[in-house]
A and B are shown apart, each in its own frame.
Chain A
Amino acid sequence: MSTYTVPTMAEMAANAQTPEVLFWVGCAGSFDERYKAVTQAFVKILNKVGVSFAVLGPEEACTGDPARRAGNEFLFQMQAVANIQVMNAYEVKKVVTACPHCFNTIKNEYPALGGNYEVIHHSEFLQQLINEGKVTLQGGGEFKGKKITFHDSCYLGRANEVYEAPREVIKALDVELVEMKRCRTKGLCCGAGGAQMFKEPEAGKKDINIERTEEALATGAQAIAVGCPFCLTMMTDGIKNKNKEAEVKVYDLAEMIAKDMGI
């Protein structure tokens, strides 16, 4: 029996190896207590399937997304150029990440600064693994037949038009996917994008995540699936606010697949 491995780019380079894909973990995936579980689940899936991957580990830095959206272009470019230097030095070709904000920034904004990579979101990556038969699901396990709703994150959906991959992943679990009234192109934001994650909201009559949580609860779903660390936080807070933690869980797609695989 062996343990899971998490190779870094530096270790690989030292052994003159290059992985097929760089797993970009992101700050939430590295530091957020709740989202670390998602990172771990995704790494287990990669191990189990035998994907040739590595992470940057301590060499990774924030993509700069929240700085850019809050208006601080200098800080964004400082982060971006430094990250691109590291990735180009390792001759990275393909990047997968579980964070739609990192995904959007590396995919769409790094090319203008000299960082050109094939970037995919983990929902698309998981869908490919399922389609290729590399991930074989046990038929839902604890999710089988349950009602699950998917919350579109803005930076995956409208920003990059990835709507179907996460839904295909959920459907592969043999569950009943129920849609919220506002979904896909009309999906309502969780309230955290555009650097809102890092400050209190402006004065208003309601918090955005409460509005969205109410909509999710109205579907009668037993679980809310997300594909974004910020959405996970916002929806989890919303569920707590509504005192529904016992009845309704919030999961990332990778966690659901890992649970089904029994890992």
Chain B
Amino acid sequence: MSILPQLAFVLILGVAGFILSKRIQFLRRNILLGKAETRNDQPENRWKAMLLVALGQQKMFKRLVPAFLHLLIYVGFLVINLEVLEFVLDGILGTHRLFAPYLGSLYTVAINVFEFLAVAVLLSCVAFLVRRNVMKVERFTKPELKGWAALDANLILVIEIILMFAILTMNATDQILAGRGDAHYQVLGPLFFSSLLQPLFEGLSTGALVAVERFAWWFHIAGILAFAVYVTYSKHLHIFLAFPNTWYANLKPKGEMANMPEVTQEVNMMLGIPVENPSAPPAEIGRFGAKDINDLSWVNVLNAYSCTECGRCSSECPANLTGKKLSPRKIMMDVRDRAEEVGKSLDAGGPGLADGKSLLGDYITKEEINACTSCNACVEACPINIDPLSIILQMRRYVAMEESGTPAQWNAMFQNMETSFSPWKFSPSDRFNWSEKVKEEEMK
């Protein structure tokens, strides 16, 4: 046997590995454009969240049909990757079905399981294509899902379908060849699903069958490697990032807004409360709130890269449901798009963040962030614990404190609070008037 296929395989593997490592560095750098934040507390609860929410898909099951279809693809992905290990070793060593002699009849069982999962993945992908393109499920037809986002989603599904066909074709032709006594191929026990495809190939000559079998093998493994690279450009990154994303997710009550300690010293001084080190220069205060991705926490940017644009957030957002411009999914997509833009600019020696653009203004409008009721429906709905609300509230802080650009009615509310300690314009001395009536009433 020529060693050429082995060399070609190692070369492909090496190139894919190189591109992937470059892409991972690019993504890592982009995520770390966000501000440093330490989130390593309560490790046991973080592992638990990751196991339940990412590995266990707990929150997916709020919607049963997509959860079931997604589970099939997910299990298929995890299990079929075991077979990829054999593919890689076969490719490097120039062997064929390396594990078969060691596993005996178990090998046939394993391949049957892989084939079952391949068919399950295939059918689920078809169902998902139908949901997106025929049934037009509402959350897949919102404005932010036009163009590349829709193409990306369909491409992923089509690529997965083709890859699954490649596995089945490979097994079908492999077993016909083995049956014809070709020494390179081993006769396995009956393979249920791929045997259904065999009639398609039985008329082919042995030479043609080998060509089909080898093409399917190469297509599958090269396809997987190419898909791995594609994923780094795609919303499909969630298959990896869902894990760190759930680990680093917020564990505090959802209603709690992060404190801004940089404001507290000034507030204490204004109220005449003794402060520690009053003469010490205030710590380097950057911008109040968030205008661009570098004002957000790196966790916010990780959230954006983890988002697979399923739209459950937007489909439960009261503002979005009632026709306002706000869509939590779009917020996440905008953060990612802006991080990509800045990253690409930096790599090209460009101005990066100083390109005259910003997340708020060029991607997200005030109208969007002003429409949020901070109800946490989006946070609750996200199957992997992404927090769009955190980003919205940080941008509101920028608008209020750096631009004084809040809507006029909010400014009036601020003024009432400053002068009469209530969001409404009532005299503070009337605050206790409600008690007069009840104090006169006889207790029954």
The answer, yes or no, to whether A259 is at the interface (CB within 8 Å) is: no
Q: Which of A150-205 contact B (CB under 8 A)?
A: 154-155, 158-161, 185-186, 188-189, 191-205
- Interface with A: B42-50, B351-359, B376-384, which one? B376-384
- Asked whether, in the complex, the Cβ of B431 is within 8 Å of the Cβ of A198, the reply is no
The answer, yes or no, to whether A94 is at the interface (CB within 8 Å) is: no
Number of interface residues of A (CB under 8 A): 81
Chain B residues with Cβ below 8 Å from A77 are 260, 263-264, 267
> Shortest beta-carbon distance, B35 to chain A, in Å?
16
- Asked whether, in the complex, the Cβ of A206 is within 8 Å of the Cβ of B322, the reply is yes
- Asked whether, in the complex, the Cβ of B375 is within 8 Å of the Cβ of A67, the reply is no
- Asked whether, in the complex, the Cβ of B410 is within 8 Å of the Cβ of A199, the reply is yes
Q: Which of B304-335 contact A (CB under 8 A)?
A: 316, 318-319, 321-326
| CA of A58 to CA of B325, assembled, Å | 41
> Shortest beta-carbon distance, B375 to chain A, in Å?
4
- Asked whether, in the complex, the Cβ of B376 is within 8 Å of the Cβ of A81, the reply is no
Contacting residue for A75 out of B273, B414, B432, CB 8 A: B414
Chain A residues with Cβ below 8 Å from B440 are 3
> Shortest beta-carbon distance, A229 to chain B, in Å?
11
The answer, yes or no, to whether A13 is at the interface (CB within 8 Å) is: no
Number of interface residues of B (CB under 8 A): 77
- Asked whether, in the complex, the Cβ of A263 is within 8 Å of the Cβ of B417, the reply is no
Chain A residues with Cβ below 8 Å from B428 are 58, 61
Q: Report the nearest A residue to B264, measured CB to CB.
A: A77
**Can you list, as one digit per residue, whether each of B396-427 has a CB less than 8 Å from chain A (1) or not (0)?**
11111100001101101110011001111010
> Shortest beta-carbon distance, B379 to chain A, in Å?
7
- Asked whether, in the complex, the Cβ of B423 is within 8 Å of the Cβ of A66, the reply is yes
| CA of A78 to CA of B397, assembled, Å | 15
The answer, yes or no, to whether A71 is at the interface (CB within 8 Å) is: yes
Also in contact, A72 and B414, with CB within 8 A (given A40-B437, A208-B318): yes
**Can you list, as one digit per residue, whether each of B249-264 has a CB less than 8 Å from chain A (1) or not (0)?**
0001111110111011
- Asked whether, in the complex, the Cβ of B409 is within 8 Å of the Cβ of A199, the reply is yes
- Interface with B: A42-50, A132-140, A248-256, which one? A42-50
The answer, yes or no, to whether B64 is at the interface (CB within 8 Å) is: no
Contacting residue for B426 out of A31, A192, A199, CB 8 A: A31
Q: Which of A89-130 contact B (CB under 8 A)?
A: 104, 107-109, 112-113
Q: Which of B428-444 contact A (CB under 8 A)?
A: 428-435, 437-444
The answer, yes or no, to whether B288 is at the interface (CB within 8 Å) is: yes
| CA of A205 to CA of B426, assembled, Å | 33
- Asked whether, in the complex, the Cβ of B444 is within 8 Å of the Cβ of A194, the reply is no
The answer, yes or no, to whether A6 is at the interface (CB within 8 Å) is: yes
Q: Which residues of A contact B (CB under 8 A)?
A: 1-6, 8, 25, 27, 29-32, 36, 39-40, 43-44, 47-48, 55, 57-58, 60-62, 64, 66-75, 77-79, 81-82, 85, 104, 107-109, 112-113, 154-155, 158-161, 185-186, 188-189, 191-208, 211-212, 262-263
25 A-B pairs with C-beta separation under 8 A: A4-B439, A4-B441, A6-B435, A30-B432, A44-B443, A55-B432, A57-B431, A58-B428, A58-B432, A62-B417, A70-B414, A72-B401, A77-B260, A109-B257, A154-B374, A158-B254, A158-B255, A158-B376, A189-B373, A194-B375, A195-B410, A198-B412, A207-B322, A208-B318, A208-B373
Contacts A2-B443, A31-B426, A158-B376 known; list 20 others, CB within 8 Å.
Answer: A6-B438, A31-B422, A43-B438, A47-B443, A61-B421, A62-B423, A69-B257, A71-B396, A71-B406, A72-B401, A73-B288, A77-B260, A79-B421, A154-B374, A188-B321, A194-B372, A202-B319, A202-B325, A203-B367, A204-B319
